Amino acid sequence: MGRLLAFSDEHAGSEQTEQVEKNIDFEWGLKIPMRDGVRLNATLYRPKSSQPTPVIFTLTPYIADSYHPRALYFARQGYAFALVDCRGRGNSEGEFEPFINESHDGHDIVEWLAAQPWCDGQVTMWGGSYAGFDQWMTLREKPAQLKTIVPAAAAHPGVDFPFSNNIFYSYDIQWLTHTSGQTGQTNLFGEWSFWREKFAEYFEGGKPFKELDQIVGNLGTHFQTWLQHPTPDAYWDQMALSGEDYDRIAIPILTITGHYDGDQPGALHFYRQHMASDSPAKQEHYLVIGPWDHPGTRTPAREFGGLKFGEASMLDMNELHKAWFDWRMKGGPRPEFLKQRVAYYLMGAEEWKYAGSLEAIPSQPWRLYLNASPGQANEVFHSGRLEGTRPGSSQPDRYVYDPLDISSAQLEMEEIKDYYTDQRFMLNLSGDGLVYHSAPFSEDTEITGYAKFVAWIEMDVPDTDFQVTLSEILLDGSHILLTQDMLRARYRYSLRQERLVTTGEVNRYEFDDFMFFSRRIAKGSRLRLVINCLNSMNFEKNYNSGGVVADETARDARRAQVILHHDEDHPSYLELPVVR
């Protein structure tokens, strides 16, 4: 199903709170003026003290009240906390334009808060997802009083939202409806049975993706505008930092994401861009990658999607943030947890490991080449092989993908509770894809970092969408999803420029946008690689015609003959970072 994107924040799991204590001052309806005259609404929590304190704020489109538990916690820990509604949301004035106004609004909020008598001149931010994105955008305008940011699961427009590798999500209209108007839409947003019904109506009916807003019944969104920009063009570039912006960063940063965080690509894109810059502050940029999904980057859970983790995974995020703020704004010690600048959780071993940088993780590339006996790669019980030696003379593997056959997609229309471990969902046994297994591992082996998959593919249609799934198969046959990637064929060479496929050409496809993961593969386990065509109600449907994908309908469908080559001239392979 590709990347699961869940943009919701505190309503995904907030903690229990006590009654407001007498030592907290509270102010509702605080109005903060922006440079264009629009006033944003803030709810202020601060310790009852005659002394000014640092101020934390969250700028959110999800209505300020959803962060009440966090604000109360930090106010009790000696920080003022302002919950600010994005313009056009909650009780703020103006019109909400997703991702557009946060840089200058964030800057103006910082400068206004810093000038208040209850602020000691130091301002920081807190939040994840959209509220992680707008921390980076606020930093872009370099407000003088912003002392640090702590973006968690930060979305990056044009990288992981509203599309991934130029493939739009059906979730886009769900999120846009969630943030429509000024009031909260939490119940509607969270009613999966409703959204499943609407997405199925689009998918099963063979309707064009561009009509999804009509099917849902919400035409007052930016959905159509987004569809007019299906690649990372200038429209999306305006919502990002430039190279010069990264060079000028001068404050410490704490980035947080998870192995199964749908916005991990965005969070790590921000991080890698900063690490590649000339900014001296990059030596003060810390990174935490835990065994979490999207909500877990703020409220970790030991179990989700069928996965279970050890006690060490339950990092106290409030405590970590407080320790970071104390270090950066109150002269306290470095947080004990941050032993080095990169902390990552090794799944399987259920422990935290550390490195000075992602590049300093002591991994070596390990290539496993695809091979198979003729006709043996089309199902799990007669699969192809992942081998350490390059193939010689070898016959290619083949499968047929018919976009009108949606039988393999029926399962996702049910309530899937064990997404990361349910083999029925991850593996289609009907033959419209290819399956490859490694030999059993002879010893426990740590794999940490990014996978890469290179495939030489021939087909008879001008375009289709591929997805690649890598899993660990344990001795008992159970299945654990490790990472995934997907790629629209027309963007195999560049995400910014399309190039349709010529029938009969053998083209090189490089899948190099897998999610970062870290897992100790158990002795006796095998790796399973599956490549097939994306056929899901959760994504923009590609009917393989080569036209504008958002406009395509079932009438445009073309059946694809897909041939994957793995021979001496076309060595298809999986490359993994093995830690020695």
Is 441 found in the same domain as 468? Answer: yes
For the cut 80, the answer to whether the pLDDT of residue 558 exceeds it is: yes
Is 427 found in the same domain as 331? Answer: no
Please compute the mean of the pLDDT values over residues 501-524 and round it to a whole number.
97
Structure confidence at residue 426 as a pLDDT band (50, 70, 90): low
For the cut 90, the answer to whether the pLDDT of residue 320 exceeds it is: yes
Average pLDDT value for the chain: 93
Residue 10 lies in a domain: no
Is 286 found in the same domain as 434? Answer: no
For the cut 50, the answer to whether the pLDDT of residue 6 exceeds it is: no
- The b/e string for 396-429 (b: 16+ C-beta within 10 A; e otherwise) is bbbbebebeebebbeebbeebeebbbbbebbbbe
Cis amide linkage into residue 143, ω under 30° from 0: no
217, 245, 279 - which closes a domain: 217
Q: What is the pLDDT of residue 418?
A: 80
H helices present in 438-542, as ranges: none
Residue 306 lies in a domain: yes
Residue 238 lies in a domain: yes
Is 95 found in the same domain as 203? Answer: no
Q: How is residue 232 written in tokens?
A: 């990372």
Strand partners, 30: 42
For the cut 60, the answer to whether the pLDDT of residue 395 exceeds it is: yes
- Residue 190 structural domain: 169-217
For the cut 60, the answer to whether the pLDDT of residue 503 exceeds it is: yes
Is 351 found in the same domain as 266? Answer: yes
Q: What is the pLDDT of residue 415?
A: 61
Q: How is residue 38 written in tokens?
A: 């629009």
Check which CATH number belongs to the domain holding 487 and give it: 2.60.120.260
Residue 9 lies in a domain: no
What CA–CA distance (Å, rounded) separates 181 from 37? 20
Is 537 found in the same domain as 464? Answer: yes
Residue 345 lies in a domain: yes
Please compute the mean of the pLDDT values over residues 461-476 and round it to a whole number.
97
For the cut 90, the answer to whether the pLDDT of residue 50 exceeds it is: no
- Residue percentage of the chain with pLDDT more than 90: 88
For the cut 90, the answer to whether the pLDDT of residue 219 exceeds it is: yes
For the cut 90, the answer to whether the pLDDT of residue 16 exceeds it is: no
Residue 3 lies in a domain: no
Is 48 found in the same domain as 105? Answer: yes
Q: What is the pLDDT of residue 377?
A: 76
Residue 538 lies in a domain: yes
Q: pLDDT tens for residues 301-313?
A: 999 999 999 999 9
Q: pLDDT tens for residues 322-346?
A: 999 999 999 999 999 999 999 999 9
For the cut 50, the answer to whether the pLDDT of residue 265 exceeds it is: yes
Please compute the mean of the pLDDT values over residues 547-562 and round it to a whole number.
98
Count the neighbouring beta carbons within 10 Å of the beta carbon of residue 529.
22
301, 327, 355 - which closes a domain: 355
Q: Which residue has the higher pLDDT, 375 or 442?
A: 442
What CA–CA distance (Å, rounded) separates 384 from 373? 7
What CA–CA distance (Å, rounded) separates 137 from 101? 9
Q: What is the pLDDT of residue 381?
A: 72
Helix, strand, coil percentages in the chain from 3-state DSSP, rounded to 5: 25, 30, 45
For the cut 60, the answer to whether the pLDDT of residue 429 exceeds it is: no
- Residue percentage of the chain with pLDDT more than 70: 93
Q: What is the pLDDT of residue 271?
A: 98
Q: What is the pLDDT of residue 431?
A: 58
Q: What is the pLDDT of residue 407?
A: 81
From residue 139, alpha-carbon distances to 122, 135, 342, 580 in Å are: 14, 6, 22, 38
Structure confidence at residue 374 as a pLDDT band (50, 70, 90): confident
Place of tokens 């968690």: 152
Q: What is the pLDDT of residue 144?
A: 96
- The b/e string for 40-62 (b: 16+ C-beta within 10 A; e otherwise) is bbbbbbbbeeeeebbbbbbbbbb
Closest CA to 203 of 557, 556, 558, 553: 553
Is 414 found in the same domain as 293? Answer: no
Q: What is the pLDDT of residue 329?
A: 98
Is 176 found in the same domain as 162? Answer: no
Is 498 found in the same domain as 557? Answer: yes
Q: What is the pLDDT of residue 20?
A: 43
308, 332, 355 - which closes a domain: 355
Q: What is the pLDDT of residue 7?
A: 42
Check which CATH number belongs to the domain holding 121 and give it: 3.40.50.1820
Is 372 found in the same domain as 320? Answer: no
What CA–CA distance (Å, rounded) separates 177 from 223? 10
Q: What is the pLDDT of residue 1?
A: 36
Structure confidence at residue 478 as a pLDDT band (50, 70, 90): very high
Q: Which residue has the higher pLDDT, 208 or 432?
A: 208
Which element (helix H / strand E) includes 242? none
Q: pLDDT tens for residues 179-206?
A: 999 999 999 999 999 999 999 999 999 9
How many domains does the structure of the chain reveal?
A: 3
Residue 245 lies in a domain: yes
Please compute the mean of the pLDDT values over residues 547-554 and round it to a whole number.
98
Please compute the mean of the pLDDT values over residues 52-80 and round it to a whole number.
96
Is 238 found in the same domain as 97? Answer: yes
Q: pLDDT tens for residues 237-252?
A: 999 999 999 999 999 9
